Amino acid sequence: EIVLTQSPGTLSLSPGERATLSCRASQSVYSNYLAWYQQKPGQAPRLLIYGASSRATGIPAKFSGSGSGTDFTLTISRLESEDFAVYYCQQYGSPPLTFGGGTKVEIK
């Protein structure tokens, strides 16, 4: 099973700042099948990024994904109030599929 480690656990930033979230895999992710999700309190998660770097429909350009192999990054270029949430990475290339533990982006 591929273990995904997200860092940091919590990121405290101010609106307008840039957020950089990391997701590291214990082994190479097949075909870079790595997704990022956003979850707000009381809501179901929402797909942001698939294939490591492709934005899902309707996701604004301030969200970008990068990386390959075992190291992946989600960047939010300029934080707005609605971006403060928990973010999860998931690998879907090798069953069993796995999620990272999440990064909480909170208002500083």
Partner 1 sequence: QVQLVESGGGLVKPGGSLRLSCAASGFTFSDYFMTWIRQAPGKGLEWVSYISHSSTYTNYADSVKGRFAISRDNAKNSLYLQMNCLRAEDTGVYYCARAYHSDSSEAGYWGQGTLVTVSS
User: Residues in the site for partner 1, rule: CB under 8 A?
Assistant: 1, 33, 35, 37, 39, 44-47, 50, 56, 86, 88, 90, 92, 95-102
Report the residue number, 76 or 91, with the smaller CB distance to partner 1.
91
Report the residue number, 30 or 78, with the smaller CB distance to partner 1.
30
CB of 104 to partner 1, least distance (A): 10
Distances from the Cα of 10 to the Cαs of 94, 102, 107, in angstroms?
27, 9, 10
Residue 106 contacts residue 11 (beta carbons within 8 Å): yes
From CA 31, how far away is CA 106, in angstroms rounded? 32
Residue 105 contacts residue 84 (beta carbons within 8 Å): yes
Residue 37 contacts residue 88 (beta carbons within 8 Å): yes
CB of 76 to partner 1, least distance (A): 19
CB of 83 to partner 1, least distance (A): 19
CB of 12 to partner 1, least distance (A): 19
Residue 15 contacts residue 80 (beta carbons within 8 Å): yes
Report the residue number, 13 or 101, with the smaller CB distance to partner 1.
101
Report the residue number, 17 or 101, with the smaller CB distance to partner 1.
101
